[in-house]
Amino acid sequence: MPQSDGSSLWALTNAAGRLSDRVLWGADASVILGDLARGSSLDGRIGELHGRSVLVATKDQLTAALAFIELDGIARRLVLCPPDLPQDHVPIVMATAAVDAVVSDRVPAEAGTPSVGPFVACGPRLTPVVPERNGRYQTEWILLTSGTTGLPKMVVHTLSSLTGAIQDARTQATPVVWSTFYDIRRYGGLQVLLRTLLGSGSMVLSSATESTDAFLTRAGTHAVTHILGTPTHWWTALSSSSAHRLAPKYVRLSGEIANQAILERLRAQYPQATIVHAFASTEAGVGFEVGDGLAGFSASLVGQRGADVAMKVEDGSLRIRSARTAARYLGNEGETLVNPDGFVDTRDLVELRGDRYYFVGRGDGVINVGGQKVHPEEIEAVINSHPGVQMSLVRARKNPITGTLVIADVVLNVEADSAKGRGEELKDEILRLCRAALPRHKVPATIKFVPSLAVAATGKTARRNA
């Protein structure tokens, strides 16, 4: 759809000002935003991409960021290809989005994309041209969700729905240096990039090939002030010997349930920081953030009148209506993203206790023990409250008697792990905590200490059913 108001991502970035002071730092290269006024990352071929449906399939996050900045308003559609998209899904994704051009930092043979139109190289070494950025299109941004089975869902956003939660971003008095453990090709990471661009900040981009230690060190070197990640990211960061290299003013968690234990650990590690947890999803957009240091959220948020995000709870599941939700799924014609009443069902289950709602798990993550429902996250919250525990994963184990039992994989923190020989004692302590806080069928039948947990490309702890 053509647009005329000139509110492309480049125009908004430009309007935020101070382009020459602002930098995007990748793991291997960096680009000063001001240089994009005199050069292009797209090999001087941006003219070939006007009005096209462009797959941005880069190895590197920095090159992807540059392509997004340059192509919003120019391309009809941007398809954000996450780094872990299986090769055999690429042709289907391209066909569904009617892709007719590819932007990549790889050579065509390596990128493995079917030949559909221009294949434009993209990189951090800018071509000295004065690019015409008279964006005419209201570009559709297509984000891919991470289904664990089958094809990813393709979610349609616009720059306007993606930036709906970004307010007063330009009022920051001191320069903000953003960073995130997330990849910017996914909703959470893209939010951070857009906040950076619209809010006159700089940003340190993460890299899939970099260790947590190396990333934290790099973020510390660039004096990151605002940093975001999942609780799993943060558990991992806190166990790293480089956690102290950060001195953030603002720490934000989203993507998984932020329980009290992780909020307390972050508070202890970064006493100078504002620590908030937020609810957002690719489909529902940014819902709300919670800044009182407590898990869950105030029940007064639900059913509030006149708020820019309306929330309700139906069948235990949180539903959200706002201008920030995605429009629809691409391809999946049979599947509804937005219900007729305008609400998006997040499929995140909440429970009212007192005057707060608490997230209890995902509708599709429930474990059935002898006919009783168990949310693994609820048990993990109890296990993680043990001071010796770094993180944990509760999962189902087949059982001939009850059908299923819950068992726990537990990663100990450095101190607890060094106290070898106390293993049985620690297991007993953790089980006693669980027995005191949970009904019998939710207490793990066995606890296994493991060196680490598998983390999905989304930064969330990998769950088979989630």
Supply the minimum distance, in Å, between the C-beta of residue 369 and another protein.
8
User: How far apart (Å, rounded) are the C-alpha atoms in residues 398 and 407?
Assistant: 10
CA 125: distance to chain centroid? 28
Which of 3, 217, 402, 413 binds another protein (CB under 8 A)? It is: 402
Residue type (1 letter), 282: T
Give strand ranges (E) for 114-158.
Answer: 119-121, 140-144, 154-158
Of residues 158-187, those binding another protein (CB under 8 A): none
Which of 445, 453, 456, 462 binds another protein (CB under 8 A)? It is: 445
Structure tokens, 37: 């006024």
Phi-psi region of 269 (alpha: psi -120 to 50; beta: other; left: phi over 0): alpha
The phi and psi torsions of 144 (rounded to 5 degrees) equal -100, 130
- Judged by CB, which is closer to another protein: 116, or 445? 445
Specify the stretch interacting with another protein by CB under 8 A; choose among 44-52, 73-81, 152-160, 391-399: 391-399
Task: Tell me whether strands 119-121 and 140-144 are parallel, antiparallel or unpaired.
Answer: unpaired
- Judged by CB, which is closer to another protein: 252, or 386? 386
Q: Is 399 in the site for another protein (CB under 8 A)?
A: yes
Q: Is 354 in the site for another protein (CB under 8 A)?
A: no
Specify the stretch interacting with another protein by CB under 8 A; choose among 26-34, 157-165, 199-207, 401-409: 401-409
Specify the stretch interacting with another protein by CB under 8 A; choose among 4-12, 58-66, 396-404, 458-466: 396-404
Q: Tell me the site size for another protein, rule CB under 8 A.
A: 16
Which of 340, 354, 400, 451 binds another protein (CB under 8 A)? It is: 400
CA dihedral 203, 49, 8, 20 (to 10 degrees): 40
Of residues 358-377, those binding another protein (CB under 8 A): 369-370
Of residues 415-444, those binding another protein (CB under 8 A): 431, 435, 440-441
Supply the minimum distance, in Å, between the C-beta of residue 413 and another protein.
24
The phi and psi torsions of 275 (rounded to 5 degrees) equal -115, 120
Supply the minimum distance, in Å, between the C-beta of residue 445 and another protein.
4
- Judged by CB, which is closer to another protein: 99, or 369? 369
Task: Tell me whether strands 202-204 and 23-25 are parallel, antiparallel or unpaired.
Answer: parallel
Q: Are 366 and 463 in contact (CB under 8 A)?
A: no
User: How far apart (Å, rounded) are the C-alpha atoms in residues 55 and 142?
Assistant: 9
Supply the minimum distance, in Å, between the C-beta of residue 358 and another protein.
25
Structure tokens, 265: 């650990």
Of residues 27-86, those binding another protein (CB under 8 A): none
User: How far apart (Å, rounded) are the C-alpha atoms in residues 256 and 231?
Assistant: 6
Q: Is 339 in the site for another protein (CB under 8 A)?
A: no
Instruction: Name the nearest CA neighbour of 410 among 428, 429, 433, 394.
Output: 394
Where on the chain is the footprint of another protein (CB under 8 A)?
369-370, 397-402, 405, 407, 431, 435, 440-441, 445-446
